[in-house]
Amino acid sequence: MLSTFRGSLDVSVFVDIRDVVIDPSLCSQGMGSPGTPWRTSEARRSAGISGRPSPLDHRCDVGPRLRCRNTSTSYLLFCHLRRIINAYRRFAAYTSKRCYTAQNKPSSENPTPKSSTPKSDRSRTWTGVQLGALTTAGVGFGYWAALQQEKEKGANSARELDMSLGSEISRLKAPSTIPYTDYENETKPTYYRDTTRPMHDRMEAFVLDLQDRLVTSLESLEPSRRFVRDRWQREDGNGYGISCILQDGEAYEKAGVNVSVIEGTLAPGQLRSMRERNPHTAQKLSATEEYDFRVAGVSVVVHPRNPYAPTAHKNYRRFEVYRKGERDSGPVLAWFGGGADLTPSYVFEDDIKHFHQTLKHACDVHDKSYYPRFKEWCDKYFTNVHRHETRGVGGIFFDDLEDKEPEELFRFVYDAGNAFIAAYVPIVARRMTMPYAVRERNWQLIRRGHYAEFNLVYDRGTKFGLMTPGARVESILMSLPLTARWEYMNEPERGSPENKLLQAVRTTTDWTK
């Protein structure tokens, strides 16, 4: 039988009962021989025993399995065991003496009684009692020590985690200016002004330009990493993409800015989904015909490292549908889609209001009905139905937008896409240096789990991408966080900052007031 006990001060005691030597002839002197060689320093070193000689070394021959790495603690441990063993010995001696006296008391039937228990048997009884005492005491003390060590280990790991969390803050510094936040006063690019080019080509130029702007502005906050650019080509040759990914940075745990410019044939499931969500689309696209498509879009997802800095998402695209083999005749149907939304783990009303007001301004320049309409659409779309809560605190969202001339819609998408930089990046700059600890980190991971649930269960873009033949899965699932957490029945305390976030995502709020 091998028993292992570990104390809170890194004490390890190994007692193998098979190694214990019990000699009845020595029982009158205690357990084991008083001349046991483990008492000498030379023998202890040769046996691999470290630390001071124990008061019990001459009592029990347990060989080299008895070892302690902390001298003072081992001494206290053995003293503790010795007191217990001595108490057992006194008790055993007392009961043995009383039993012996009772059995050998003279009587009329037995005038000259003799001991019914031979001396050697009594010695064995003594030895068994002491061995039982040693084992019982060791188990009890070892169990207590193990509990103490687990508590100490948990406290130490928590302290170490607390020390490691937020260690990046000292290396972060917000820049004095963030690039491309003043897009309204910049000179408009050529693709914006050149109305003679096909709209698909202009949209392609726009998403590539916006990708560069986003990467530059996000990198202005990141001191240790840069985005990795991964240009890929579809296996069938029908399109390409550029995935810009940053992982394990100081400011960002994961950030992705993806561009895809692809074309192909609509799969039956894709066509059915388009017709079901929009009656106008159902009128334009027949369920029995085949159609080709072209799409150019940019998709952005940013998961900051600091729990106080919110996650954000943005996506803008133009989709064109052609009858099979009739691209030269022009699209049967074309629309813009996209939006931007904010997903914080903690509520900072100033941040949320800034985000919404910036997007509202970009909408109002083109149509004052856009923001309230698209904000409501966003709240409905980005909802985890199974949890009865929105993914975050909203923003704007629209799809199948074709209610105005393509030129006017393109300019709106241009402004909304660039407004995201001014709406979001300054928030990260403000929050990325705030101190945080384990509690905030765990809550952030729980909220990221809810974020992942929406993307995998409800997001139409994810479903469309995965249904597309030859889909590039790595780019489609770029939106998922690097880490997430699911806890059973996690419910924050009423009045806590975490509960405040839950109230925000379970109710609808006008953040522009």
Catalytic (active-site) positions: 313
Q: Are 454 and 382 in contact (CB under 8 A)?
A: yes
Sheet holding 291-304, edge to edge: 228-233, 239-247, 252-265, 291-304, 311-323, 333-343, 394-401
Q: Which residues contact 67 (CB under 8 A, 6 or more apart)?
A: 12, 13, 14, 48, 49, 50, 51
The DSSP call for residue 309 is S
Torsion of CA 230, 340, 461, 275, to 10 degrees: -140
CB-CB neighbours of 269 under 10 Å: 12
Let me know: does 234 contact 442? Beta carbons within 8 Å. no
Q: In a 3-state reduction of DSSP, which class is residue 209?
A: helix
Residue 75, exposed/middle/buried by CB under 10 A (0-12, 13-18, 19+)? middle
Plot region of 173 (φ>0 → left; ψ -120 to 50 → alpha; else → beta): beta
Distance CA 418, CA 386 (A): 33
**Contact by Cβ (8 Å): 501, 347:** yes
